Amino acid sequence: MAQLGARYAAALFELATESGSPELFRDQAILLRDSLSDTECRRLIEHPLISATRKTEFLDSVFKGNIHIDLLSFLHIAIFKNREEFIVPGLALFIKRMDEHFGNVQANITSASALSGSQIAALSTMLSRKLGKQVEVTVRVDPSLIGGFSVHADGYFIDRTIKKRLSDMKLSLKRGAISDSQA
């Protein structure tokens, strides 16, 4: 069944490239993915006792005129075929495929404290230069990191957090204690 999301993504990719405005298609797919990922919205769309007609009426009331007709038709088809659970994964795969097509990379930065706009811009520029691709940055704050930040981008992972350094130090001390006791 995971292949169904991939098939939806492939069909959307074909529609987007034929539409003449694939960037707009991608941006609207991001809006849909983010909107439909909301817990309440997802619960409504995937609820088995709500009819397909009511679901599509709801989606039309929210998105009609705001997204490409082909994206809205995709939603309708998925709902009428009882494939609601594949909508968000299909959109996510489509967005990823479009990003690859345009040479864009998503970078997820987790920081112990909020980053300023200039810090985010500097990280984005540095990552773009390093990867040779346009980088779109998403920042999340996690105070449990104590200090520093970590970056996930295009298969790379950089961890410069205090939490990681403390963990490494603890492991190093344990290894040292083990080697000392064996001597």
Distance CA 138, CA 110 (A): 8
CATH of domain 103-182: 3.40.30
At 120 the pLDDT is: 93
Tell me which residues of the chain have a pLDDT lower than 50. none
Residue positions counted in the chain: 183
Domain chopping of the chain, boundaries: 2-100, 103-182
Give the CATH number of domain 2-100: 1.10.520
Whose tokens are 């995709």? That residue is 74
- Sign of the four-CA dihedral 142, 27, 18, 66: positive
What pLDDT is stored for residue 3 in this prediction?
85
* pLDDT for 75: 96
CA distances from 24 to 59, 61, 123 (A): 19, 20, 26
Same fold? 2-100, 103-182 = no
pLDDT at 181: 53
Query: Would you say the pTM of this structure is higher than 0.85?
Result: no
